[in-house]
């Protein structure tokens, strides 16, 4: 599966999708749509140990390894945050931990997330990416040992 | 009243806005509508230029210097203190301590006065609507002194429950510290009444005036408060400077808070004699430019006039309230009779973060979250945060129209 | 060396002086010769303009805001922290705490760290040449902890007596706090050696770098100091801002110093969880403009280059020393091998106040008195004060010529 | 005696004297001369209780009442300070405490002391005047009671 679509390819796909929107409002509407479709995380994970610190809205995130590939699930109490994390999951989920660790997540700049997707998100965004990469780090370790 | 004209003739809004260069900025292609005034106000050119002027003409370390620059800087520094004294009608300039800001002032009192008067088993009273800066210092003091911290409850309109307050006082109450104007609800508290009640039991009162200073005339002599703290940056002045007012008898009785240059009279290897008021509480090189230019901010406010500022802001608030009431699905948190020009709200079903993010793209700056009153928002009002639009006199009816339109748009996008 | 030409080609003095508008001022009809740089430095236009620019374009409260201005101000604020981190070569930006100044930083350590590590019967070592800001906080701490404060003695040249220092350390020594560069003598202390010795006994060291920051490259990683404090206003930056560097392990172990907004992670009515480093130590709205523009001052110094600044200042010092030696009746206090560009002196038989007063009338700004090192001047050197001329790279040989001529005139008037 | 020369008249005399100098240096030299002539205070008064606080140089000041008139003596370790205090004594000494209390000391501005006689003096100067007036206050009280 990762053979057929790499992280880079998924990033390119999203960048392409976003290039079709010619104003921030359409981008927002798209992200909000994504947010609404985000597969909800199980109630049991909606607690502090799964919370991503540094976001103004609450974000819960979990990851599970299946056949050497890492799958993420998340939820948030804010829709835009949900949309953003849904993009991140779209790109990273279902990949090898090593590949996730190496992802530069450059598409975030390309699609204009940082300029238009409301400020402090920069912080929250980094926090989410860090948490996702931390899961990858943890499981890549497990793979090796 | 025609929503788009102000009946205040004394402030020429178009002209006064020209004194605020940042208001010309565009955000996301739109002129900025700055509604985050409760976090920090914008600064008029007189203030900005006074900073440059200080550095370009008299910059020097104050006190003890005998050369001309030092004398001039000292004079400007002490003139500003005198302006502030008049601004809040204190008895003597020894009662005016320059601090870093409200937080610094409250910590000074909690540390130097609090540890003097609060002992094991004693009680301190604050309210449920305190800013973290007037809450965490008392939590810490009470924890370290094994004293009890009690909170005056807040009713659903966001007002202090005064009857409850009366019953909370007892012989163990050693200190009361209350916010004058709530930064997240806008409530103007009956601070005179609180002080009167407290004093009838001989209990000293600290007033957190961070949100009062920009909006109303403060008169410490009439209030008879024991301490009062505020910040320059919220009242059109620079960042990094604030004022702690304290009654002379208290300040005299308190140990210094910080130690170093300026606050000493004489030092030997064995012993130090501290300086007189207010210098005893101003250790180290002060924020000289900040202190001097706080005086310029005072000048600016007095030029506008408290009355004019108040009237203008009340008109803006009325306009916003009217528009908000027409939108629907909006819940306003803080509906006290006596309010400053601030609306904390949530759109039902929409997270404040989503609202704020989208408004930002319309060039509208609001604050979202707990506004440093997390227990009030989360425990008392059971909300994940609010959206706060706080108005200053330089805001316009048009900007508020845009805010209302923006909120409608948020609803259409998210609901 | 021709006294009137600088061999430093990298600093064009005429051009760089144009960046300091205040240097064009006339005092008593004469161009100012500003020799009070150790008290506070003058500011280049890049610094002055950066303050205006901040207020005119991005002024907003930092952190937690989701609107554009707030994000931009936060970014600028954190960028400046990162610049400072690089400037002193700290490991992480969590180790860089914005303070009000050196005094604030030292008080923070004395209060939060000192009370943790210093108990009854313990000992703290400082030196006889400490500024009051690095002396009185320790007097106070030792008094309240019933600990003993010991002073590394100073020899007649104004150098620390290192052999004595070695013998002062014992198992009761819990903390050593020493000035990097003396503000009244100019002595550059062997701070690396002090730290090495202290660490061999596992004793943490605080370095007062107020006078080091403007004159030399500071490298906390190489020094391996535990804490280091300095002020922006002495290194071409604004007033009201300073830096406390602390090793992460120490800062983590210390309780907060002040309580309020910014320094919390979450607050309930019962309990508060503090924020991560460095925010745990930055309660309240910081001096945002000051912090951001401190970064501009760092840029300015790095543009000039530490090497160039040092070389230029050493030339000025050599020139002054040469002229002073020709005048006669002058006693220089502080003749260490390793000095910064500062001369503390008295004209035999003339009170420093008289000298300073007359020099001021020639447009020459020197400082007179104890320079906040009263025990050093009064008890150690038995003087009623000194006259201090402290040079910055922007001073000129001509200005120093005027100083020498002024001193001759003082002599002829008073002797 | 006070009948023949009032405080105001002495002030005017000094203002006249100073108007003859056309640069600050001559003023200084004159003040330094005055300073050198200042009648020294007795050793016994050179201690903290007679010290004037707020001057960078040390100043000791005492006053004695004789026949209802107040006479000052002072000393300082700085010559310029001595000169300044010598001027103050010249004006105030030998007057009734009430007259001393009423003196506005306006001549200080007129002779340019505040602009040219080195800065912080403003502080020291006020401290000296205050101390002198405090003596007058004390003795005027004694007169009345
Ligand atoms: C050596 C030294 N330490 C500490 C200080 C105190 O610095 P600040 O007054 O900026 O807090 C100074 C400057 O006055 C100094 O020269
Ligand atoms: C009511 C209130 N108290 C205290 C503060 C703290 O002020 P500062 O952050 O300027 O210290 C604020 C502002 O943030 C406030 O609104």
H/E segment holding residue B266: strand B264-267
Query: Length of chain D in residues, anyone?
Result: 145
Q: Write out chain C residues lying below 8 Å of B49, CB-based.
A: 52
Q: What angle do CA C183, C188, C189 make, to 5 degrees?
A: 110
Mutate to test the pocket of ligand 1, among C210, C238, C294 (most ligand atoms within 8 A of CB): C210
Indicate whether B330 pLDDT > 90: yes
**Cβ contact, residue pair A80, B354, below 8 Å:** yes
What is the model's pLDDT at position D46? Answer: 85
Of C52, C60, C136, the CB nearest to B36: C60
What whole-number distance in Å separates Cα of residue B78 and Cα of residue B67?
Answer: 17
Q: Which atom of ligand 1 is nearest to the CA of B260?
A: 6
What is the model's pLDDT at position A41? Answer: 82
Residue C412 Cα, ligand 2 centroid: separation in angstroms? 58
What 8-state DSSP symbol labels residue B187?
Answer: B
Cross-strand partners of D64: D71
Count structural domains, chain D: 1
What whole-number distance in Å separates Cα of residue B136 and Cα of residue C269?
Answer: 9
What is the model's pLDDT at position A144? Answer: 45
Q: Write out chain C residues lying below 8 Å of B137, CB-based.
A: 258-260
Closest Cα to atom 7 of ligand 2: B102
**Cβ contact, residue pair B67, D119, below 8 Å:** yes
Token couple for C167: 């013998």
**Cβ contact, residue pair D119, B64, below 8 Å:** no
What whole-number distance in Å separates Cα of residue D95 and Cα of residue D103?
Answer: 10
Residues whose CB is less than 8 angstroms from the CB of residue B327 and which lie 6 or more positions away in sequence, other chains included: B404, B407, B408, B411
Residue C60 Cα, ligand 2 centroid: separation in angstroms? 14
What whole-number distance in Å separates Cα of residue D57 and Cα of residue C351?
Answer: 8
Residue C294 Cα, ligand 2 centroid: separation in angstroms? 23
Indicate whether B3 pLDDT > 60: no
Contact in structure between C357 and B66 (CB atoms under 8 Å): yes
Residues whose CB is less than 8 angstroms from the CB of residue B227 and which lie 6 or more positions away in sequence, other chains included: B105, B109, B113, B204, B205, B206, B207, B244, B245, B246, B247, B250
What is the model's pLDDT at position B65? Answer: 82
Contact in structure between B127 and B156 (CB atoms under 8 Å): no
Which residue, C274, C270, C269, is CA-closest to C257?
A: C274
What whole-number distance in Å separates Cα of residue A88 and Cα of residue D142?
Answer: 88
Give the distance from residue C105's alpha carbon to the nearest chain D alpha carbon, in angstroms: 28
Cα-Cα-Cα-Cα dihedral of C401, C402, C408, C409, to 10°?
A: 160
Looking at chain D, which subunits does it touch, using at least 3 CB pairs closer than 8 Å as the criterion? B, C
Beta strand spans in C214-357 (E): 227-231, 242-246, 264-267, 272-274, 330-333, 342-347
**Is the Cβ atom of C210 under 6 angstroms away from ligand 1?**
yes
What is the model's pLDDT at position D37? Answer: 85
Give per-residue pLDDT as tens, B122-176.
999 999 999 999 999 999 999 999 999 999 999 999 999 999 999 999 999 999 9
**Cβ contact, residue pair C27, B269, below 8 Å:** no
**Is the Cβ atom of C231 under 6 angstroms away from ligand 1?**
yes
Radius of gyration of chain D (CA): 15
CA dihedral (B281, B283, B289, B290) positive or negative: negative
Cross-strand partners of D95: D70
Residues whose CB is less than 8 angstroms from the CB of residue C329 and which lie 6 or more positions away in sequence, other chains included: C347, C348, C349, C411, C415
Q: Write out chain B residues lying below 8 Å of A77, CB-based.
A: 351, 384
Which residue, B320, B325, B352, B326, is CA-closest to B339?
A: B320
Q: Is A142 exposed, middle or buried (0-12, 13-18, 19+ CB in 10 A)?
A: exposed
**Cβ contact, residue pair B365, C61, below 8 Å:** no
**Cβ contact, residue pair B61, C40, below 8 Å:** yes
Task: Pick the catalytic residue from C73, C235, C241, C372.
Answer: C372
Indicate whether D67 pLDDT > 50: yes
What is the model's pLDDT at position C21? Answer: 97
What whole-number distance in Å separates Cα of residue C253 and Cα of residue C239?
Answer: 30
Is B74 in a helix, a strand, or coil? helix
Q: What angle do CA C370, C372, C376 make, to 5 degrees?
A: 60
Residue C138 Cα, ligand 1 centroid: separation in angstroms? 15
What is the model's pLDDT at position A38? Answer: 78
Helical H runs in D69-118?
Answer: 79-92, 97-102, 107-110, 113-116
**Cβ contact, residue pair C66, A120, below 8 Å:** yes
**Is the Cβ atom of C177 under 6 angstroms away from ligand 1?**
no
C-alpha atoms less than 13 angstroms from C-alpha of D124 in its C-beta half-sphere: 30
**Cβ contact, residue pair D120, B68, below 8 Å:** no
Task: Pick the catalytic residue from D34, D38, D55, D80.
Answer: D55
**Is the Cβ atom of C106 under 6 angstroms away from ligand 1?**
no
Cross-strand partners of A71: A64
What is the model's pLDDT at position B9? Answer: 53
**Is the Cβ atom of B238 under 6 angstroms away from ligand 2?**
no
Give per-residue pLDDT as tens, A75-103.
999 999 999 999 999 999 999 999 999 99
Indicate whether B84 pLDDT > 50: yes
Q: At what angle do helices A7-19 and A24-37 cross, to 10 degrees?
A: 130
Give per-residue pLDDT as tens, B275-323.
999 999 999 999 999 999 999 999 999 999 999 999 999 999 999 999 9
pLDDT 10s digit of each residue in chain C, 415 long?
334 444 445 789 999 999 999 999 999 899 999 999 999 999 999 999 999 999 999 999 998 788 999 999 999 999 999 999 999 999 999 999 999 999 999 999 999 999 999 999 999 999 999 999 999 999 999 999 999 999 999 999 999 999 999 999 999 999 999 999 999 999 999 999 999 999 999 999 999 999 999 999 999 999 999 999 999 999 999 999 999 999 999 999 999 999 999 899 999 999 999 999 999 999 999 999 999 999 999 999 999 999 999 999 999 999 999 999 999 999 999 999 999 999 999 999 999 999 999 999 999 999 999 999 999 999 999 999 999 999 999 999 999 999 999 999 999 999 8
Can you give the pTM of this predicted structure?
Answer: 0.95
* Residue D122 pLDDT grade (very low, low, confident, very high; cuts 50, 70, 90): low
Q: Which atom of ligand 1 is nearest to the CA of C100?
A: 11
**Cβ contact, residue pair A80, B353, below 8 Å:** yes
What whole-number distance in Å separates Cα of residue C247 and Cα of residue C254?
Answer: 11
Residue C114 Cα, ligand 1 centroid: separation in angstroms? 19
Percentage above 70 pLDDT, chain B = 98
What is the model's pLDDT at position D47? Answer: 86
What whole-number distance in Å separates Cα of residue B407 and Cα of residue B363?
Answer: 13
Residues whose CB is less than 8 angstroms from the CB of residue C81 and which lie 6 or more positions away in sequence, other chains included: C93, C96, C98, C278, C291, C295
Residues B395-411, mean pLDDT to the nearest whole number: 98
Cβ neighbours, 10 Å, residue C359: 26
What is the model's pLDDT at position C1? Answer: 38
User: Closest-lying ligand to the alpha carbon of C228?
Assistant: 1
**Is the Cβ atom of C259 under 6 angstroms away from ligand 2?**
no
Mutate to test the pocket of ligand 2, among B36, B103, B239 (most ligand atoms within 8 A of CB): B103
Q: Write out chain A residues lying below 8 Å of C279, CB-based.
A: none
Contact in structure between C52 and B52 (CB atoms under 8 Å): yes
Residue C226 Cα, ligand 1 centroid: separation in angstroms? 19
**Is the Cβ atom of B99 under 6 angstroms away from ligand 2?**
no
**Cβ contact, residue pair A118, B351, below 8 Å:** no
- Specify whether C372 is catalytic: yes
Kindly report the CATH number assigned to the domain that includes residue A125.
3.90.1010.10
Interface of A with C (CB under 8 A): 53, 56, 118-122
Indicate whether B64 pLDDT > 60: yes
Tell me which residue range forms the domain holding A80.
2-144
* Residue D115 pLDDT grade (very low, low, confident, very high; cuts 50, 70, 90): low
Q: Is C308 left (phi over 0), alpha (psi -120 to 50) or beta?
A: alpha
Give the distance from residue B403's alpha carbon to the nearest chain D alpha carbon, in angstroms: 54
Q: Write out chain C residues lying below 8 Å of D85, CB-based.
A: none
Q: Write out chain C residues lying below 8 Å of D119, CB-based.
A: 360
Q: Is D in contact with A (3 or more beta carbon pairs below 8 Å)?
A: no
Phi, psi dihedral angles at D13 (to 5 degrees): -60, -45
What whole-number distance in Å separates Cα of residue A38 and Cα of residue A56?
Answer: 19
**Is the Cβ atom of C80 under 6 angstroms away from ligand 1?**
no
Of B239, B261, B359, the CB nearest to C289: B239
What is the model's pLDDT at position A48? Answer: 85
What is the model's pLDDT at position A4? Answer: 61
Give per-residue pLDDT as tens, B331-390.
999 999 999 999 999 999 999 999 999 999 999 999 999 999 999 999 999 999 999 999
Report how far apart, in Å, the C-alpha atoms of D30 and of each of B324, C162, D23, D27, D39 are: 76, 50, 11, 5, 16
Give the distance from residue C223's alpha carbon to the nearest chain D alpha carbon, in angstroms: 38
* Residue D111 pLDDT grade (very low, low, confident, very high; cuts 50, 70, 90): confident
H/E segment holding residue C99: strand C96-99
Which residue, B288, B242, B77, B79, is CA-closest to C240?
A: B288
- Mutation target among C30, C346, C353 for the D interface, most CBs of D within 10 A: C353
Residue B210 Cα, ligand 2 centroid: separation in angstroms? 5
What whole-number distance in Å separates Cα of residue C296 and Cα of residue C80?
Answer: 8
ipTM over 0.90: yes
Low-confidence ranges of chain A (pLDDT < 50): 1-2, 119-121, 144-145
Q: Write out chain D residues lying below 8 Å of C369, CB-based.
A: 56
What rounded mean pLDDT belongs to chain A? 85
H/E segment holding residue C207: strand C205-208
Q: Kindly list the strands in the beta sheet with C148-152, ordered across the sheet, starting from the edge strand earlier in the chain.
A: C96-99, C242-246, C227-231, C205-208, C173-179, C123-127, C148-152
What is the model's pLDDT at position B215? Answer: 98
Closest alpha carbon within chain D to C28: D116
What are chain B's domains?
13-44+306-414 (3.90.1150.10), 48-303 (3.40.640.10)
What is the model's pLDDT at position A52? Answer: 87
Cross-strand partners of C229: C208, C244
């Amino acid at each position: 599966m990762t053979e057929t679509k790499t992280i880079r390819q998924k990033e390119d796909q999203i960048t392409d999708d976003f290039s079709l929107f010619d104003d921030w409002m359409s981008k927002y509407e798209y992200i909000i749509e994504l947010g609404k479709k985000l597969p909800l995380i199980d109630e049991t994970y909606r607690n502090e140990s799964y919370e991503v610190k540094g976001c103004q809205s609450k974000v819960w995130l979990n990851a599970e390894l299946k056949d050497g590939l890492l799958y993420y699930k998340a939820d948030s109490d804010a829709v835009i945050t949900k949309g953003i994390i849904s993009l991140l999951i779209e790109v990273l989920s279902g990949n090898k931990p090593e590949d996730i660790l190496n992802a530069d997540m450059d598409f975030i700049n390309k699609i204009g997330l940082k300029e238009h997707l409301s400020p402090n998100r920069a912080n929250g965004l980094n926090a989410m990416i860090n948490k996702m990469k931390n899961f990858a780090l943890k499981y890549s370790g497990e793979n090796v040992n | 009243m025609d929503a788009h004209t102000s009946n205040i003739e004394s402030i020429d809004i178009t002209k006064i806005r020209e004194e605020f260069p940042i208001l010309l900025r565009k955000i996301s292609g739109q002129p900025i509508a700055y509604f985050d005034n409760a976090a920090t106000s914008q600064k008029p050119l007189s203030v900005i230029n006074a900073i440059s002027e200080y550095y370009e003409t008299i910059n020097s370390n104050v006190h003890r210097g005998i050369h001309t620059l030092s004398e001039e800087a000292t004079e400007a520094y002490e003139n500003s203190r005198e302006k502030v004294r008049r601004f809040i009608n204190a008895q003597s300039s020894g009662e005016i301590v320059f601090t870093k800001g409200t937080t610094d002032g409250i910590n000074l009192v909690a540390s130097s006065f609090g540890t003097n008067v609060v002992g094991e088993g004693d009680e301190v009273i604050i309210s449920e609507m305190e800013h973290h800066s007037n809450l965490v210092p008392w939590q810490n003091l009470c924890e370290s002194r094994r004293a009890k911290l009690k909170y005056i409850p807040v009713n659903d309109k966001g007002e202090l429950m005064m009857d409850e307050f009366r019953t909370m006082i007892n012989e163990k109450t050693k200190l009361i510290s209350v916010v004058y104007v709530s930064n997240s609800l806008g409530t103007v508290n009956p601070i005179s009444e609180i002080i009167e009640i407290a004093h009838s039991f001989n209990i000293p009162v600290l007033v957190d005036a961070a949100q009062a200073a920009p909006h109303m005339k403060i008169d410490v002599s009439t209030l008879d408060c024991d301490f009062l703290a505020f910040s320059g940056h919220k009242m059109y002045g620079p960042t990094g400077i604030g004022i702690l007012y304290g009654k002379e008898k208290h300040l005299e009785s308190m140990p210094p808070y910080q130690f170093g240059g300026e606050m000493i009279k004489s030092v030997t290897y064995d012993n130090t004699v501290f300086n007189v008021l207010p210098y005893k509480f101003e250790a180290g090189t002060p924020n000289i430019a900040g202190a001097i230019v706080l005086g310029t901010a005072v000048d600016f406010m007095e030029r506008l006039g408290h009355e004019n500022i108040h009237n203008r802001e009340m008109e803006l608030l009325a306009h916003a309230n009217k528009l908000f009431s027409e939108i629907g699905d909006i819940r306003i948190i803080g509906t006290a009779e006596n309010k400053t020009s601030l609306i904390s709200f949530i759109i039902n079903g929409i997270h404040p973060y989503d609202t704020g993010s989208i408004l930002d793209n319309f060039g509208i700056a609001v604050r979202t979250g707990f506004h440093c009153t997390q227990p009030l928002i989360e425990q008392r009002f059971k909300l994940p945060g609010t959206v706060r639009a706080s108005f200053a006199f330089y805001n316009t009816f048009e900007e508020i129209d845009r805010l209302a339109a923006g909120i409608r748009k948020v609803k259409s996008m998210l609901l």
